Amino acid sequence: MIKDLIKNVAYPIIKSRPDFLIVGAQKAGTTSLYNYLIQHSNVIENNSFKEIHYFDKFQNYQRGFGWYLGYFPSKKQKENKLTLDATPEYLYFQHIPQLIKKDLGNIKMIAILRNPVDRAYSAWKMYHSFSENPHDHLRNIADKRTFPEAIEEEQKGIKFEYPYDYINRGKYAEQLENYYKHFAKESLLILNFNQLKDDLDNLLNSVCDFLSLERFSSEKLQELKETKYNYGKYNFAKSESDLQVIQQLKDDFIPYNEELYNLLGYRYTW
């Protein structure tokens, strides 16, 4: 497209690049973190209201780097503030770290990890609810299966056009190892989803320190704690069969969680 060609020439000159990325994980609080951070006086949001899906969607990536930069403020608008792309799909797909390194160099990145069993069930509830969504693009990726059906079929290796991957997305160690092939460990800040609810002050302080930002004031932190974003309230009560599968998954994830703890050098209470 002519417009994309023009963007690929002009935007690298006039547009700013993201200063950091929130790369995942899906259903682990990335929306909350994004909305907290854009309330910092030295952070400016992108023009996509969070997720740009440049590196994970081939149809977007092939439009070129200028297309991507079109979602960020101009260098003049940005001034000395930081801007970001928060697309939680980036953590999962194996090819993405190499693309990020190619286009953005040694950029800082943040990943929030959630108990993989809770994450899997939350993701299923979201996709299952899409069957009643008024938007076609969400109904088209709805998962009409029960949770036990979805888990059983993934364990059998049955593939779908849309990568729900409820189990595999929770194998965090291999995803992080994939990033560490291309980036120093210091480039990636790892956070625990539980902190969003139980220890928000320290979580945001650690993010600000990582990004070399001034910490939020105590007054601002209190204001942020009183605001919740996208905690995903879906009207599904856990069935008996759901609970049985959840217990099975807790056992199945023990070795994968141990791999993660060995990689990080500390443990979560999962």
At residue 163, the pLDDT reads 95
User: Is residue 180 within a helix (H) or strand (E), and if so which, with residue range?
Assistant: helix 172-180
Percentage of the chain lying above the pLDDT 70 cut: 98
Q: What is the pLDDT of residues 124-178, one digit of tens each?
A: 999 999 998 999 999 999 999 999 999 999 999 999 989 999 999 999 999 999 9
The predicted model gives 2-29 an average pLDDT of 93
Split at pLDDT 50, 70, 90, the class of 61 is: very high
At residue 230, the pLDDT reads 65
Compute the Cα dihedral for 11, 13, 16, 20 and give only its sign.
positive
Distances in Å between the Cα of 100 and the Cα atoms of 21, 87, 133, 145, 221 are: 10, 12, 33, 34, 32
d(CA 61, CA 102): 12
Q: CB 3: neighbour CB atoms within 10 A? A: 11
Residue 231 pLDDT > 80: no
Closest C-alpha among 79, 74, 70, 73 to residue 42: 79
User: Is residue 4 within a helix (H) or strand (E), and if so which, with residue range?
Assistant: helix 2-14
**CATH numeric code, 2-264:** 3.40.50.300
- Helix 116-129 to helix 240-252 angle (10° resolution) is 140
The predicted model gives 240-260 an average pLDDT of 98
> Contact at 8 Å (CB) between 17 and 54?
no
d(CA 162, CA 259): 27
Write the DSSP assignment of 196-227 as a string of letters.
HHH-HHHHHHHHHHHTTPPPPPHHHHHHHHT-
The whole-chain average pLDDT of the chain stands at 95
d(CA 207, CA 33): 10
Q: CB 117: neighbour CB atoms within 10 A? A: 22
Angle at 51 between CA 130 and CA 139, to 5 degrees: 15
Split at pLDDT 50, 70, 90, the class of 3 is: confident
Q: What is the pLDDT of residues 70-117, one digit of tens each?
A: 999 999 999 999 999 999 999 999 999 999 999 999 999 999 999 999
Q: Kindly report which listed range (64-68, 183-187, 235-239) carries the lowest average pLDDT score.
A: 235-239
> Contact at 8 Å (CB) between 120 and 127?
no
Split at pLDDT 50, 70, 90, the class of 182 is: very high
Domain boundaries, given as residue ranges, for the chain: 2-264
Residue 213 CB contacts under 8 Å (≥ 6 apart), including other chains:
40, 42, 43, 82, 207
At residue 102, the pLDDT reads 98
> pTM above 0.75?
yes
Lookup result for tokens 């979560």 = 268
Q: Kindly report which listed range (125-134, 215-224, 232-241, 247-256) carries the lowest average pLDDT score.
A: 232-241
What are the DSSP E strand ranges found in 34-89? 43-44, 82-86
